[in-house]
Amino acid sequence: MSKERYLDSLEIKWHSIAIDYQILAWSGGQWNLLADVKGNTQAIARHDIASDLKTDKLRISIIKTTGTNYGIREVVLDVESLITDLSYSDCALRAGSYAYAITAENILNCESEAVVLQAVVDPPETPNGLRAAVNGPDVSLTWEHNQEPGLLGYLVLRNGMIVNKEQLNEVAAEGHPSASSQYNVNNNADKAIDRDPNTFWRSDGKGPTTFTLKFDAPKVISSVRMQYVYVAYDYQILYREGDKWISILDVQANRQAEVNHEFSYPVWTDEIRIQFLSGATQYFGIRELYLEESFLGLEKALLDAELSEGDLTSSTR
């Protein structure tokens, strides 16, 4: 790089896939480790750089590959851009405490001391006035509406499980799909969410593959439904939280051409990934993928009908 920059992300397009490798940046007179990757199987590997290092040199140290050769087709590097406005909006944050720092930089790449402040984002207010009316096997819940900015709606849970399923929204088409491989341009990742029964995404058949769906803003995802062209036997469903991928479901020995996986708990995320490990053929293929987002809108009542006798605990949030 021509001058020192803060790094945002790095994408490596491998010719010969590296299984184990390290990404390092030069700063402070030494090489600093940014990522230590082990067990990679992706032909296109994207890494978000969670570091405050400023650098003008980057190094990829390849330790182990799938063969005897080392090969990179292309490296795409995104760097943080400067803001010239006098304001910035950081939107759609989860509740918590956040530390902000602002510095100034001139044309000579000199950076000022940082001004630091702390900001606390509160969660939505707890729904008030929750009431239950029992009529035989039916339970009617009502509560008071929270009038506050940014409120999407309410989730209703019975014994820890979402019960307002009739209010699910299918949101896969709102996402941006990508895959670590494709058979050809006619079988790209977009085909898995185009709602055309005659098209599908297909992998290149060269081993484990990932299919990822990224949203512009986080959503509450409660289930994944897939229609396979080439049935996947073993696979994982993961969601992104911060800079980590967390497994929500580990599927083994599937033989169904259409599967519907309801999560044991709803996940708040802007990215869902399916890691395909083995299948009926060397290929993996999705005709259509559906993701369901759970919330009850801004209604203030739920009828939970035809319950069996027993103790029930319901909550809204």
Which tokens sit at 213?
A: 């769906």
Q: In the prediction, which pLDDT does 307 show?
A: 47
CA 90 to chain centre: 18
Residues whose CB falls within 8 Å of the CB of residue 30, separated by 6 or more in sequence, listed in order: none
Question: How far is the C-alpha of 121 from the C-alpha of 135, rounded, in Å?
Answer: 40
**How confident is the model at residue 169, as a pLDDT?**
77
Distance CA 6, CA 82 (A): 10
pLDDT tens digit string along 107-124?
887 889 999 999 998 888
Domain 5-79 superfamily per CATH: Galactose-binding domain-like (2.60.120.260)
* pLDDT of res. 308: 42
- Give exposure, 257-284, as e/b (b: 16+ Cβ within 10 Å): eebebebeebbebbbbbbbbbebeeebb
Ranges of the chain with pLDDT below 70: 1, 51, 147, 149-152, 164-168, 294-317
- SS3 letters for the chain? CCCCEEEEEEEEEEEECEEEEEEEEEECCEEEEEEEECCCCCCEEEEECCCCCEECCEEEEEEEECCCCCEEEEEEEEECCCCCCCCCCCCCCCCEEEEEEECCECCCCCECCCEEEEEEECCCCCCEEEEEEEECCEEEEEEECCCCCCCCCCCEEECCEECCHHHCEECHHHCEEEECCCCCHHHCHHHHHCCCCCCCEECCCCCCEEEEEEEEEEEEEEEEEEEEEECEEEEEEEEEECCEEEEEEEECCCCCCEEEEEEEEEEEEEEEEEEEEEECCCCCEEEEEEEEECCCCCCCEEEECCCCCCCCCEEEC
Q: Which residues partner with 22 through β-bridges? A: 36, 61
Q: What is the CATH number of domain 169-293?
A: 2.60.120.260
What is the predicted pLDDT for the residue at 4? 84
Q: How far is CA 38 from CA 22, 160, 252, in A?
A: 9, 36, 23
To 10 degrees, the CA torsion angle through 272, 273, 274, 277?
-160
pLDDT for the residue numbered 293: 80
Beta-bridged to residue 19, according to DSSP, are none
Count CB atoms within 10 A of the CB of residue 25.
22
106: Cβ contacts below 8 Å, ≥ 6 apart: none
Looking at residue 312, its pLDDT comes to 46
- In the structure encoding, which two tokens stand for residue 207, read together? 């081993």
CA distance 46 to 81: 19
